Amino acid sequence: MTPTLALAVPSRLVKLAPVDLIIIVFYFALVLAIGFYLKRRASTGEDFFLAGREMTAWIAGLSFLSANLGALELMGWASSAYEYGILATHAYWIAAIPAMLFLGVFMMPFYYISKTHSVPGYLKLRFGESSRSLSAISFAFMTVLMSGINMYSMALVLKIVLGWNMNFSIWISALTVGIYVALGGLRSAIFNEVLQFVLIWAGALLIPILGLIEAGGWGPLKAQIIHNTSVEYVHLWRYLGSFSTNPEGIHWTGVLFGQGLVISFGYWTTDFLVVQRLLAAKDLRAAKMAPIIGAAFKMFVPFIVILPGLLALAVLPFKLTGASVAAATGGHSYNEVLPLMLARYCGPGLLGLGVTALIAGFMSGMAGNVSAFSTVWTYDIYRALIRKDASDAHYVSMGRWCTILGVLISIGTAYFVMQFFSIMDYVQALFSIFIAPLFGTVILGMFWKRATAAGGFWGLLTGTISAAAMFAWIEVNPAAVRYVALSSHASPMAADMYRALWSWIVCVVVTIAVSLFTRPKPVAALNGLVYGETDIPSEGNVAFYHRPAFWAVIVGLVFVALNVIFW
């Protein structure tokens, strides 16, 4: 769900005043203070890995969203908005809202009632040890890789925007995150994520407000974008009837089924990085409400991410280009659009807050990766495969050390990426390779009681292998994209979406086929794990306006209205 940033040609975009530096230093001091303060409340496994399961719906929901709202997400999609126009908004609407609402209303009961510590932990309960091990190892690998790449990208951004030394940026931010997560565990990560969420909005909201004032409002902005580019840049769906009639080179089926169904549902409902925040909710209703609250805020994130990219198309006096062209010409690349807009409107103080918002975004994403890695390693790999019967205190200690270890591996990955820059191009692809089949396995596990342990494992394995094979096929023979993505015009992003769709279908078909030929678990063993066999607490005595389903419908209606308005 994170676009790849490819920045080049380091050059300093903005100069910070002393007040900006004070704001940034204060932010670092505050997040560390929160970590030290919460250390005393992270003494048991339940405290350290699940924040004591006492978070309100609001805190779990904002943390759930913030863990995803990394600065790569902010800067990458702002860049995509400049490159592809309003089409980039699909990443926030069709590729997020339905999945988040589905997670809240239909899937959270099983995650929560099963009392699992993690998504691989759910697979253990539903399908057995082999499925858990496969998903835990692939998740741990992906998580530290993503964390390292995020860290490298952050250092690169800070170098370009502020002229900061990359080693300094990597070590300071990584150690800060490592310290506050190792001290306070998931509770510290969640507290800081909520703080970071507020700072991201406080620091980024002025750009669209001032931008709209400068452009004269939405109408004149739209007219100017059409004048500077073309009409396809301001419509979400109208020009998706053909691969060649829109800037992204994608068909509506790819958006709806690839981006909107498989990748989105895979990410939001099975990626433990985000789901972990919901498992920390204080009760089932809070766990169900949290992703709905997250969805409500997610719908408005385009205001601080996509709109700045669109505003840049209209108001910047020069054109941005791709990274390689920018490197050759000494100009600015698409990826610099958000810092450029920040520097355009924000003077001393506001600039410091804006840069703090970017740093906060990076750190919230990194903390999400590190805390999820620590939990999966400790519970799903170390305890499951290496040491099964240690004390709770031992596992908490392992979690703390593993947090530091995860940070150090991430730093190593960041330096590795620095040497082999092209690996950045593969991140999104690798992500879709692991996530899409996992969604097939989890969804069948939750909603089809006939799915068996063998079916779950072989479906997950073949789905993952098929995704990797399609990726390798296109790498070896780029013309193969016409078979995988149904068009030779398809962009790499479109290829990701179709590959995710096919690998999900492979996973589902294999899971069903193998399940039909193998013996299912007894129905009694499925209680708390599968729809139809789980006693979900009734909400009959709860007022309708307190029910998660009611708010899911409201958010869903606003989502439909927004898509119609910007059709």
Partner 1 sequence: MESKDSISIWFFIGISLLVNGVLILGAGIYELVHPPENPVVLFRLHASIWWGALLLITGVFYCYRFLPRGAWRK
| Interface with partner 1 (CB under 8 A) | 17, 19, 22-23, 26-27, 30, 34, 37, 41, 54-56, 59, 191, 194-195, 198-199, 202, 206, 210, 213-214, 282, 343-350, 352-353, 356
Closer to partner 1 at the Cβ: 135 or 364? 364
Closer to partner 1 at the Cβ: 15 or 482? 15
Listed residue (330, 180, 265, 149) closest to 508, CA to CA: 265
Residue 55 pairs with which residues in a beta bridge?
281
- Contact (CB, 8 A) for 188 and 35: yes
Q: Rounded to the nearest 5°, which phi and psi values hold at 423?
A: -60, -25
Closer to partner 1 at the Cβ: 107 or 341? 341
The nearest distance, CB 339 to partner 1, in angstroms, is 13
Please state, in angstroms and rounded to a whole number, the distance separating the CA atoms of residues 136 and 117. 12
The nearest distance, CB 194 to partner 1, in angstroms, is 5
Phi-psi region of 115 (alpha: psi -120 to 50; beta: other; left: phi over 0): left
The nearest distance, CB 197 to partner 1, in angstroms, is 9
Element (H, E) at 178: helix 166-204
The nearest distance, CB 412 to partner 1, in angstroms, is 32
The nearest distance, CB 104 to partner 1, in angstroms, is 19
The nearest distance, CB 40 to partner 1, in angstroms, is 10
The residues near 313 (Cβ < 8 Å, ≥ 6 apart) are 82, 85, 224, 225, 228, 229, 233
* Tokens 């903005």 belong to residue: 14
The nearest distance, CB 60 to partner 1, in angstroms, is 9
* Tokens 């993952």 belong to residue: 464
Closer to partner 1 at the Cβ: 317 or 540? 317
Helices 18-38 and 350-375 meet at what angle, rounded to 10?
A: 30
Please state, in angstroms and rounded to a whole number, the distance separating the CA atoms of residues 256 and 497. 10
Closer to partner 1 at the Cβ: 19 or 558? 19
Three state DSSP letters for 364-410:
HHHHHHHHHHHHHHHHHHHHHHHCCCCCHHHHHHHHHHHHHHHHHHH
- Contact (CB, 8 A) for 449 and 530: yes
The residue count for the chain: 567
- Contact (CB, 8 A) for 456 and 125: no
The nearest distance, CB 214 to partner 1, in angstroms, is 6
Residue 489 token pair: 């015009």
Closer to partner 1 at the Cβ: 60 or 514? 60
Residue 425 token pair: 């191009």
The nearest distance, CB 551 to partner 1, in angstroms, is 20
Which regions of 206-327 does DSSP assign to beta strands (E)? none
Q: CA 69 → CA 26, 32, 35, 65, 133, distances in Å?
A: 21, 20, 20, 6, 28
- Contact (CB, 8 A) for 199 and 304: no
The nearest distance, CB 208 to partner 1, in angstroms, is 12
Helical residues (DSSP H) of 241-385, grouped into ranges:
252-253, 264-270, 272-279, 284-298, 302-315, 323-329, 337-345, 350-375
Closer to partner 1 at the Cβ: 56 or 518? 56
The nearest distance, CB 15 to partner 1, in angstroms, is 10
DSSP for residue 333: B
Please state, in angstroms and rounded to a whole number, the distance separating the CA atoms of residues 71 and 68. 9
- Contact (CB, 8 A) for 144 and 62: no
The nearest distance, CB 313 to partner 1, in angstroms, is 16
